[in-house]
Amino acid sequence: FWVKIKISLPHILLSYSFIDNTLNPDFVRKFILDYFFEERQNLKFDLYDVDSKSTNLSKHDFLGQIFCTLGEVVGSLGGRMEKSLGGIPGKKCGTIIVKAEELSNCRESVMMQFCGNKLDKKDFFGKSDPFLVFYRSNEDGTFTICHKTEVVKNNLNPVWQAFKMPVRALCNGDYDRTIKVEVYDWDRDGGHDFIGEFSTSYRELSRGQSQFNVYEVINPKKKGKKKKYLNSGTVSKHFSCYMLFFFLVYDFYTFSFIWFPGNPAQPTSLHYMNPYQLNAYAMALKAVGEIIQDYDSDKMFPALGFGAKLPPDGRISHEFALNGNPQNPYCNGIDGVMEAYYQSLKSVTLYGPTNFSPVINHVARYAASIKDGSQYFILLIITDGVISDMAQTKESIVNAACLPMSIIIVGVGPAEFDAMIELDGDEVRISSRGRNAERDIVQFVPFRDYIDRTGNHILSMARLAKDVLAEIPDQFLSYMKTRGIKPSPTPPPYTPPGHPLQTQI
């Protein structure tokens, strides 16, 4: 068997892997790819039966193919995606299993806190003012300083503040590379007194069920002079590891809200249903939805509109189901959302005002009921920029900032978006009634800044999605870290058919 893998966006690469004489090949070769949460990275897998040594694929028998995205593989349970092969009409081509595993040293960050115990006394009129200096070892055997703690004054049992740093800065991604830690007594004149040192590695730091390690601080000169010398104290460590990638073991629930201004039958309307191309709302919805749906386990999205009169009585609503079913507003995949959106344009009468707070509060009620870190909610709002309840919206965002949710706002049309920029909070954290938002949960982008001048809508949507989703991983991590929520355990390994798991109830 010969598998050909085509990878596109942002790179195109042809890769091959070959296994001889089997109907159930298990390809060992791994392909290292750069993964970007905010981009749609398309993959294509072609399988062939090898008939000769020729590298010309037309000389071999085509067995089937699949198309998917890297996000689809990564977002699958345990990073394992199984799909049926296609490409040969009327024939069952079997299945292919694709697994993704992160090279953790690329994006890992480590949170560490150290405390000392019975360190040597160095000051004549006091104790010691200790601090730690961390060094990363280099290939040539030298050391480079990579972190220095604060000074704890007059204390032989100091507790230093927790600090976070990239694993790459600590050991350059080599878990077994030596990390040297020196302990000093701070002196005002800069001639700090050496207390002692110890060596470890990233792997050693992270080892142990209790995640606590104790290191003896050794002063080589003292050790050489005193036969009964034991140490110059000890340093204990608490270790936590966070990965940018770990959010993928959680479920993302995406709510889509679309503002309905203007008459969709008029070509001047942003909702105009052009039979030949997507309108601005549809492009924004498709651009973001096609990427984020890869991280939703059931691919069912609640899609609602706001700012319309509903049949049959013309009631004004700010949170109505696009599919017309208020008891079950869920749509199957982003294509289902698009279909519901187009159908709603035919049945509702677009009407103001534009109130954001009911929309935010709607999703916040869901998020408030699940705070264990198992689910994270994303609210996508597509609007023309007008907002009627600014004060209430700011209060809703401040309240929602302590919940497991993020808000994406895409502005369409030529309007000024000053209010949206204020909600974004990148420069000034949003506040309401004297309270600041706990964290930044809003990302706003105006769609017009991403429209390709040559009319390439696919490129426009790719640019939009890349920027609008760029902050989601950090927003997610900020929520999990501040609440001490660790990644869920890795799902159990896959058991092939014929070898069922034995379960006792």
Rounded to an integer, the average pLDDT of 297-319 is 84
Task: Indicate whether 250 pLDDT > 60.
Answer: no
pLDDT class for 101, splitting at 50, 70, 90? low
Q: Which of 133, 272, 125, 136 is nearest to 196 (CA)?
A: 133
Please tell me the number of Cα atoms within 13 Å of 52 on its side-chain side. 7
Report pLDDT digits (tens) over 66-76: 999 888 888 88
- pTM summary value: 0.57
Cα 69 to Cα 289: distance, rounded to the nearest angstrom: 13
- Segment 326-343 shows an average pLDDT of 89
pLDDT tops 50 at residue 10? no
Comparing C-alpha atoms, which of 210, 200, 262, 277 is closest to residue 235? 200
Higher pLDDT, 361 or 30: 361
Kindly list the distances between the CA atom of residue 358 and the CA atoms of 246, 375, 392, 458, in Å, as whole numbers in the listed order: 31, 21, 9, 32
Q: Is the pLDDT of residue 244 over 70?
A: no
What does the pLDDT read at residue 130?
95
Does the pLDDT at position 361 exceed 90? yes
On the question of pLDDT at 96 being above 70, the answer is yes
Q: What is the pLDDT of residue 111?
A: 82
Q: Is 81 helix (H, G, I), strand (E, B) or coil?
A: strand
**How far, in Å, CA of 304 to CA of 361, rounded?**
13
DSSP string covering 38-74: TS--EEEEEEEE--SS---GGGSEEEEEEEEEHHHHH
CB count in 10 Å sphere of residue 250: 19
Q: Which residues contact 217 (CB under 8 A, 6 or more apart)?
A: 116, 119, 183, 195, 196, 197, 198, 231, 232, 233, 234, 235
| pLDDT at residue number 284 | 83
Query: Residue 436 to residues 39, 431, 439, 477: CA-CA distances in angstroms?
Result: 31, 4, 8, 19
Please provide the average confidence, as pLDDT, over all residues in the chain: 80
**Distance (Å, rounded) from C-alpha 342 to C-alpha 303?**
12
Report how far residue 405's alpha carbon sits from residue 428's, in angstroms, rounded to the nearest whole number. 20
Q: Name residue 16's amino acid.
A: Y
> Which tokens in the block code for residue 322?
């696009």
Q: Which of 481, 501, 4, 495 is nearest to 244 (CA)?
A: 481
Confidence class for position 2, pLDDT limits 50, 70, 90: low
Q: pLDDT at position 248, please? A: 38
Q: What is the mean pLDDT of residues 129-158?
A: 89
Q: pLDDT value at position 446?
A: 87
What sign does the CA torsion over 363, 366, 367, 373 have? negative
- More confident site: 390 or 17: 390
Please spell the DSSP secondary structure of 466-487, one letter per residue. HHHTTTHHHHHHHHHHHTTPPP
SS (HEC) of 194-247: EEEEEEEEHHHHCCCCCCEEEEECECHHHHHHCCCCCCCCEEEEEEEEEEHHHH
Q: Does the pLDDT at position 4 exceed 60?
A: no
210, amino acid identity: S
- In three-state secondary structure terms, 257 is strand
Residue 439: pLDDT band with limits 50, 70, 90: very high
pLDDT at 297 over 50: yes
Give the DSSP H or E segment for 395: helix 390-400
Compute the average pLDDT of residues 80-95: 90
pLDDT of 452 higher than 80: no
